[in-house]
Amino acid sequence: MSRIAYVNGRYIPHAQASVHIEDRGYQFADGIYEVCEIREGYIIDETGHLDRLERSLHELEIAKPMSRAALKLVMKNLIRKNRINSGMIYLQVTRGVAPRDHVFPGPHVAPSIVMTAKSVASTVGDAKASKGVAVISLPDNRWDRVDIKTVSLLPNVLAKQKARETGAFEAWFVDGDDKVTEGSSTNAWIINQDGVLITRPAEHGILRGITRATVLRVAEAHNIPVEERSFSVEEAQQAREAFITAASTIVMPVVKVNDAIIGNGQPGSIATELRQLFHQHAEHIKL
Ligand code: PDD
**Does residue 249's CB lie within 6 angstroms of at least one atom of ligand 1?**
no
In b/e form, how buried is each residue of 67-101, taking b as 16+ CB within 10 angstroms?
eeeebbebbbebbeebebebbbbebbbbbbbbeee
Query: Along the 287 residues of the chain, how does pLDDT read in single tens digits?
Result: 689 999 999 999 999 999 999 999 999 999 999 999 999 999 999 999 999 999 999 999 999 999 999 999 999 999 999 999 999 999 999 999 999 999 999 999 999 999 999 999 989 999 999 999 999 999 999 999 999 999 999 999 999 999 999 999 999 999 999 999 999 999 999 999 999 999 999 987 999 999 999 999 999 999 999 999 999 999 999 999 999 999 999 999 999 999 999 999 999 999 999 999 999 999 999 99
**Does residue 245's CB lie within 6 angstroms of at least one atom of ligand 1?**
yes
Q: Rounded to whole angstroms, how far apart are CA atoms 13 and 6?
A: 9
| Tally of CB atoms within 10 A around 179 | 17
Catalytic residue among 72, 149, 162, 286: 149
Which DSSP letter does residue 140 get? Answer: -
Give the atom of ligand 1 at the shortest distance from the alpha carbon of 45: 14
CA atoms within 13 A on the CB side of 178: 5
Q: Which residues contact 70 (CB under 8 A, 6 or more apart)?
A: none
Is 76 in the active site?
no
Q: Rounded to whole angstroms, how far apart are CA atoms 110 and 28?
A: 16
Question: Which residue from 275, 215, 214 is spatially nearest to 48, judged by alpha carbons?
Answer: 214
Give the atom of ligand 1 at the shortest distance from the alpha carbon of 247: 15
Question: Which residue from 43, 44, 71 is spatially nearest to 57, judged by alpha carbons?
Answer: 71
Q: Are strands 4-7 and 112-119 parallel, antiparallel or unpaired?
A: antiparallel
Given a contact cutoff of 8 angstroms between Cβ atoms, the answer to whether 135 and 159 are in contact is no
| Tally of CB atoms within 10 A around 285 | 16
22 exposure class (CB count in 10 Å sphere: 0-12, 13-18, 19+)? middle
**Does residue 211's CB lie within 6 angstroms of at least one atom of ligand 1?**
yes
**Does residue 187's CB lie within 6 angstroms of at least one atom of ligand 1?**
yes
